[in-house]
Chains A and B, each alone.
Chain A
Amino acid sequence: MWTWFHKLASPPHFYRMAGLWAPWFLALSVVGMVTGLYGGLVTAPEDFLQGDAFRIIFVLVPSAYLSLLAYVVMAVASAIGLVWRMKLAHAVAAGAAPIGASFTFLALATGMLWGKPMWGTWWQWSDPRMLTELILLFLYFGFMALRANIADRQRADKAAAVLALVGVVNVVLVHYSVEWWSSLHQGQTVMNSEATMPASMLTPLLLMIASFSLFFGAVLLHRLRGEVLIREANARWVRRLVETTPSMETVK
């Protein structure tokens, strides 16, 4: 187990493995999404109260979920990077940030498209879930801006990691915002014992959430390959890789 772990943590091995795994993550997530979408858009009946517009949840909920998952991954990796000074951990945090930011944006956008027909408004500043999700987006931007503006990689890693950890508070707020404050946004529907969702809606939704997570894994692996290359730019294995791969061609 430990030898396996050490081997995985070795950059050239990780680089190769990430390249091998990414297509599998992607393939599985695509299969899951297609199945989930069929269930969500075709099989599931329209909602009694919310009509067909409720189908937006099949992309809204998974992207909101991913916006938090990516942040948790980023924060945990940052903590590991700070405590054990693991280079790969900072690479994980750096790779997760842009993915998380894009899905936070998507969650906000689809949330607005949900809000207009459901609540009669695109946006409401006093709604805690919308507000905390927007803050989440700014946290991602801050994290990426810090990285981009500190030339020294180790200092950038450290500063960004501290910001990521401070921002964890907001993740907790996003999650509990619908319980702690009354708002436009509806409460928990999935992990809730009182409000139950019929299986015809719940199954595709859970499938979409799982597929989005797998997709996150696939993109993260691709990003990590780039991050590892930058961090190992002067290592012998990278030089050899650069020499042996043909130029101007996509490298697997």
Chain B
Amino acid sequence: MMEWLSMGGYALYVWTSFGLTLAALVGNLVFAKRRHDRILAQLRESQSTRQAEPRGTFQEVTS
């Protein structure tokens, strides 16, 4: 097990690569879902204000 983890002396390079990859995968999913949810929340907000003022148009707020 320890021998496997040491990756023939290349542990730092190998495991950093795989760690970065895992982070990128998780990050992609989280950001994509969060963006969708945020847009939905913004739509809800603009819709509730629109009921008072029907002409309002939706403006996406980024970030």
A→B interface (CB under 8 Å): 26, 37, 41-42, 46, 51-53, 55-56, 59-60, 63, 98-99, 102-103, 105-106, 109-110, 113-114, 116-117, 148, 215, 218-219, 222-223, 225-226, 229-230, 233-234, 238-239, 241-243, 245, 247-248, 250-251
Contacts and interface: CB of A to CB of B under 8 A. Distances in A.
Contact of B31 (A63, A98, A116): A98
Contact of A222 (B10, B13, B33, B46): B33
B62 A53 contact: no
B47 A110 contact: no
Contacts of A106: 20-21, 24
Interface of B: 4, 7-10, 13-14, 16-18, 20-21, 24-25, 27-29, 31-33, 35-41, 43-44, 46-47, 57-58, 60, 62
Contacts of A41: 18
B60 A53 contact: no
A247 B44 contact: yes
B5 to A, nearest CB: 10
11 contacts: A42-B4, A52-B7, A55-B14, A59-B20, A114-B17, A148-B62, A215-B28, A223-B36, A226-B35, A226-B39, A239-B47
